[in-house]
Amino acid sequence: MAIQHLAELKPFNTFSISAKADRLARFSTVDELRSLLASPEVKGTPLLILGGGSNILFTQDFHGTVLLNEMPGIAVVQEDAEHVWVKAGAGVTWHTFVLSCVEQGWAGVENLSLIPGKVGAAPMQNIGAYGVEIKDTFSSLEALRIADGELVTFNKEACAFGYRESFFKRTGKDQYVILSVTFRLNKKPVLNTSYGNIQQELDRMEITQPTIRDVSNAVIAIRRSKLPDPAVLGNAGSFFKNPVVPQELVDRIKAEHPDMVSYPAGEGHAKLAAGWLIERAGLKGYSRGSHGVHDRQALVLVNLGGATGHELYDLSKHVLRTVKEKFGVDLEREVNIL
Ligand code: FAD
Ligand code: EPU
C-alpha cells in the first residue's frame, strides 16, 4: 500500500482537471483500508474517497489523502424463484456490473447502462437514468465508519434515497467508506421502455420483442448520441439537477413559453428540464475558450482543453445567475465541488 505524495489527480477525474493531492493511496481490501486509516501519515488528515471521479470538480489542490477504492468482486449472495441478490465490490466499474447482470439475464439495472463511475459511488446520489434509479433494485450496502473503523450495514430506508440524493450526501457526508452494494434483481424481467426515446430507439433497431440486452443497447445508443464521452471531452455529466418548483412558477413561465418542458413532481409541484432552461437562457454551446456549455446537451459543462476547476466553477455561477434572471428558477449543482 504505497502512499504517493503530491499526486496529480488529472487521470482520476473525468473533467480532466489538473490538481494535486498531498497523498494518494489505493485499497482493495478492508484490511488495507484499515491500515491506511491507522497509519501515522494518514490518520487525522482530510480524506477523499474516490471512485471513477465522474461526479467531482477539483477547484483547488486537495490538502489531505485521496483513497482510490478498488474493492473487487461480483457474487450472488442469495436466490429464490423470482429474484437474485448480487453483491458488487465498491471498486467495480458500474457499467461492468450492469453488463454482467445483462449477460446473466438479471433485470433491473439495464436502463442504467453506460453511467460512468464505480459501484461504490452509485448510492451517493442514487444514480438514475431512463426512468430507473438504483433505489429500485437496491437491497443493502456495507460501509466502514471512518470514526471507529466499524463495519455498518445500511438497508434502503437508512440510505434515505431521493432524486440525486442520499444520507451519504447529507448527514453521513465524509463519515463512511462504502465497501460493497447488494442489489435485488429480477429473474423474470419486467422491462421499462416507457421513458424518453427508448421505444423509438428499439423501433429504429427493428426490435419488437425486446430483451434486457436490447434495452441496454438502446440506452447505450441514446446516451452516445447525446452525452459527450469524457475520454474525448472532459465533463461530469449533468452539472445541475432538474429543479422541482411550485406549480405557480411553472404556470407563470408557461404563459410566456408554452413549449417549456415539465414533469409532475407531487402535489402542487413540477420538475423542470434544466437543460431546456439553460438552452432558452441562450447558453447552449456558450464557450469561454477553454471551457463551455456543451452544444448538444446544455446541462453538461465541458472542459474544451486546459480549463481549471475554478474557471468551470465560475461558469457554473454564470449559468445559475442567467437562469435565475431569465426564469426566476434557482438551479442546484449536482456535481461535488472540492
Ligand atoms: P466519484 O466522482 O469518484 O465520487 C463522487 C462522490 O462520491 C464523491 O463525493 C466521493 O467522495 C464519493 N464516493 C465515491 N466512492 C465512494 C465510496 N466508495 N464511499 C464513500 N464515498 C464515495 N449520474 C447519474 O445519476 N445518471 C446519469 O445518467 C449520469 N450520466 C453521466 C454521464 C457522464 C458522461 C458522466 C461523466 C457522468 C454521469 N453521471 C450520471 C454522474 C456520475 O457518473 C455518477 O454520479 C457516478 O455514480 C459517480 O461515480 P464515481 O465512481 O465516478 O464517483
Ligand atoms: N433539453 C433541452 N435542451 C438541452 C437539453 C435538454 O431542451 O440542451 C430538453 C430535452 O429536449 C428534453 C428534456 O430537456 O425534453 C430532458 O432532456 P434529457 O432527456 O436529455 O434528460 P435530462 O433531464 O437533461 C436527465 C439526467 C441525466 C440522465 C437523463 C436520462 C438529471 C440532472 N440528469 O437529463 O443524468 O442520463 O435524464 O434519464 O437528472 C447525470 O445525472 O449526470 C445525468 C447525465
Q: Which amino acid is at 9?
A: L
Report the CATH number of the 74-186 domain: 3.30.465.10
As a residue count, the chain comes to: 338
Distance 77 CA to ligand 1 centre (A): 25
Class of domain 4-69: alpha beta
Q: Please indicate whether residue 334 is annotated as part of the active site.
A: yes
Distance 338 CA to ligand 2 centre (A): 24
Calpha distance 288→292 (Å, rounded): 6
The set of cell numbers assigned to 271 is: 420538475
The set of cell numbers assigned to 162 is: 431521493
Q: What number of CA atoms fall less than 13 Å from residue 271's CA on the CB side?
A: 11
- For 160, counting Cβ atoms within 10 Å of its Cβ (0-12 exposed, 13-18 middle, 19+ buried), the class is middle
Q: What's the average model confidence in pLDDT over 219-231? A: 96
Residues of the chain with CATH 3.30.43.10: 4-69
- Residue from 169, 197, 299 whose mutation best tests the ligand 2 pocket (most atoms within 8 A of CB): 299
Q: Please indicate whether residue 332 is annotated as part of the active site.
A: no
The two beta strands, 138-145 and 176-186, are antiparallel
Long-range contacts of 243-251 (CB under 8 A, 24+ apart): 243/271, 243/272, 243/274, 243/277, 243/329, 243/330, 243/331, 243/332, 244/163, 244/269, 244/270, 244/271, 244/272, 245/269, 245/270, 245/271, 245/272, 245/329, 249/328, 249/329
pLDDT digits (tens, 9 = 90+) for 250-302: 999 999 999 998 998 989 999 999 999 999 999 999 999 999 999 999 999 99
The separation between the first and the last C-alpha atoms of the chain, rounded to the nearest angstrom, is 25
Residue given cell 429543479 in the structure block: 243
The two beta strands, 176-186 and 83-89, are antiparallel
Nearest ligand to the CA of 146 is 1
Q: What's the average model confidence in pLDDT over 108-122? A: 98
Q: What's the average model confidence in pLDDT over 232-237? A: 97
Q: What's the average model confidence in pLDDT over 219-241? A: 96
Neighbouring CB atoms inside 10 A of 207's CB total: 16
- Residue 56: what pLDDT? 98
Catalytic entry in 23, 26, 164, 280: 164
Nearest CA to ligand 2 atom 27: 129
Residues of the chain with CATH 3.30.465.10: 74-186
Distance 334 CA to ligand 1 centre (A): 10
The set of cell numbers assigned to 174 is: 465524509
pLDDT digits (tens, 9 = 90+) for 165-201: 999 999 999 999 999 999 999 999 889 998 879 999 9
Distance 121 CA to ligand 2 centre (A): 20
Closest CA to 185 of 104, 302, 288: 104
**Across the strands, what pairs with 132?**
129
Q: Are 219 and 113 in contact (CB under 8 A)?
A: yes
Name the pLDDT band for 25 (thresholds 50, 70, 90). Answer: very high
The number of angstroms, rounded, from the C-alpha of 257 to the middle of its chain's C-alpha atoms is 30
Q: Phi-psi bin for 248: left (phi > 0), alpha (psi -120 to 50), beta?
A: alpha
Q: What is the mean pLDDT of the chain?
A: 96
Catalytic entry in 54, 140, 238, 262: 238
Distance 273 CA to ligand 2 centre (A): 7
- Residue 59: what pLDDT? 98
Residues of the chain with CATH 3.90.78.10: 234-337
- Residue 196: what pLDDT? 79
- H-run or E-run covering 186: strand 176-186
Name the pLDDT band for 230 (thresholds 50, 70, 90). Answer: very high
Q: Please indicate whether residue 164 is annotated as part of the active site.
A: yes
Please indicate whether residue 50, judged by its CB atom, sits closer than 6 Å to ligand 1. Answer: yes
- Residue 215: what pLDDT? 97
0.75 exceeded by pTM: yes
- For 329, counting Cβ atoms within 10 Å of its Cβ (0-12 exposed, 13-18 middle, 19+ buried), the class is middle
Neighbouring CB atoms inside 10 A of 82's CB total: 10
Q: Which atom of ligand 2 is nearest to the CA of 127?
A: 41
**Across the strands, what pairs with 300?**
238
Q: Which atom of ligand 2 is nearest to the CA of 223?
A: 36
Query: Does the pLDDT value for residue 5 go beyond 80?
Result: yes
Query: Does the pLDDT value for residue 329 go beyond 90?
Result: yes
pLDDT digits (tens, 9 = 90+) for 75-105: 999 999 999 999 999 999 999 999 999 999 9
The alpha helices in 227-308, defined as continuous H runs, are: 247-256, 274-280
Residue given cell 444520507 in the structure block: 167
User: How is domain 234-337 classified at the CATH fold level?
Assistant: 3.90.78
